[in-house]
A = this chain, B = another copy of it.
Amino acid sequence: MPELRQDPLSGRSVIVAENRAARPDQFATKNGRGVDVCPFCPGHEHLTPEATAVYPADAHAPDTQWRVRVVPNKYPAVELNASGDRGEAAVGVHEVIIESPAHVVSLSDISGEDARLAFVAYRDRLQTLRQDSRLAYGLVFKNARADGGASLEHTHSQLIAMSTVPADIQFELAKAGEHRMLHGSCAFCDLIDGELDGARHVIDTESFVVFCPFGARFPYEMWVLPKEHRESFEATADAELAELAELMQNLIRRLEAILDSPAYNYWIRNAPYRLSSHDDYHWRIELTPRMTRLAGFELGIGCFINPVSPEKAAAQLRSVTARVV
């Protein structure tokens, strides 16, 4: 049973999930737990737990092919019926969003329609899970390629909904609250105002803005924010989800134009499910290729070293042409 533990001195949270050690690893070269048959490909649905959602909705009907399929994670980091031996139980839900029937590694390689449905699935699953009063926070994240932490190739993301609000999010909420008190405005809206058309600006669409953050941890790290003040990702309308999916594919293609098949991650920094009246948030997506490895310096004191300034990264990301698919 997974356990949630907190280091008493750093306040750092760890989920101890021993069942995850048994995961197969498609990228494994040495440990002999390779995967011959992709469990995410059509025809192999029996290799995953039963789907909690499929897209389009009529893909349950005979002879209708699913485009996006959401399944419980077979090796969950959190479980609804978890109980802790030594620490607190790591209570939650861990799902996998299979983003296309196509066996490709990158979100940039799937059809626009599949990408759109993947983003619809992110929203719907976050929305559905928030109805469960045991769950306080939902994180959608993607690990692409081995250096991004993926153990299976076939393009997918994950959703972990948990019973506590992570300390990082609480810290940011407090900072945004302070900002609101001092300036009477949203810290993130003000951040957007400062980055629009600045040296770190990458691109914007009707509803979204993309820039490399001032304190970028990684080369080519980008943040995507809705221009209008929106607390929760779940509030994103269908038309905006289509725009966002296309934008994310475009950004990943830009990364792939600059870098050689980069591993990457993205995740949605979302508001907690239940915001109190004095809480303030504005969701964003953080997207980063994984060119540098976190080493002793970063792990030792939590400070990052970034060899590419966000200003230089943004200039390159602006000028590159995303491949047309």
Contacts and interface: CB of A to CB of B under 8 A. Distances in A.
A308 B175 CA distance: 34
A20 B217 contact: no
Interface in A51-81: 77
Contacts of A23: 307
Interface string A3-25: 10111111111111111110100
B168 A311 contact: no
A12 B306 CA distance: 13
Given A158-B297, A296-B141, A296-B142, A305 B17 contact: yes
B12 A301 contact: no
Interface of A is mostly: mixed
Interface string A288-302: 100011111111111
Contacts of A142: 296
Indicate the size class of the contact surface on chain A: 35 or more
Given A8-B175, A295-B141, A307-B17, A166 B214 contact: no
A219 B213 CA distance: 32
Given A15-B303, A168-B302, A305-B17, A297 B160 contact: yes
A143 to B, nearest CB: 4
B300 A267 contact: yes
B286 A300 contact: yes
Nearest to A146: B293
Contacts of A250: none
A139 B5 CA distance: 26
A16 B312 CA distance: 11
Interface string A209-223: 000011111010000
Contacts of A15: 303-306
A201 interface: no
A57 to B, nearest CB: 27
Interface of A: 3, 5-21, 23, 30, 77, 86-87, 137, 139, 141-143, 146-150, 158, 160, 166-169, 171-172, 175-176, 187-188, 191, 213-217, 219, 260, 265-269, 286, 288, 292-312
